[in-house]
Amino acid sequence: MNHFIVGIRSCDLGCYVNRAIVSCILYVDDITLLSASLSALQKMLHVLHQTSKELLLEFNASKSFCAVFETPPTSPPQLCLGSDLLEWSSSIKYYSVSFI
């Protein structure tokens, strides 16, 4: 997992919280990316995809999705992980914690 963290951090992308950048939250084999913009999120997804290829790993895009915690765009752009398009969700559940 450290390879993914190093790759994401090297891009200097994420959300600033109290003057510190927060890019990803990891727990076991789950990765949650935090981004202030959709273009930055797509760049982070590209870094994850490239890193996984280098490590000979694959992400399961069917278990991955995007969520917006502000007023969502009426027609959100398609984001992709490699060649797989990611679905959009209006809420997420992360280890028994719901975010709506």
Measured CA angle at 27 (ends 66, 93), to 5 deg? 45
Determine what percent of the chain is predicted with pLDDT higher than 90.
Answer: 32
Where does the chain show beta strands of DSSP type E?
A: 15-17, 20-22, 24-27, 30-33, 65-67, 80-81, 84-85, 87-89, 92-94, 97-99
Average confidence score pLDDT of the chain: 87
How many domains, in total, are found in the chain?
1
Contact 86, 64 (CB under 8 A): yes
Domain that holds residue 29: 2-99
65 pLDDT band, cuts 50/70/90, is confident
How far is residue 85's CA from residue 61's CA, in Å, rounded to a whole number? 8
pLDDT at 93 over 90: no
| pLDDT of res. 42 | 95
Confidence of residue 63 (pLDDT cuts 50, 70, 90): confident
pLDDT in tens, 24-60: 988 888 888 999 888 999 999 999 999 999 999 999 8
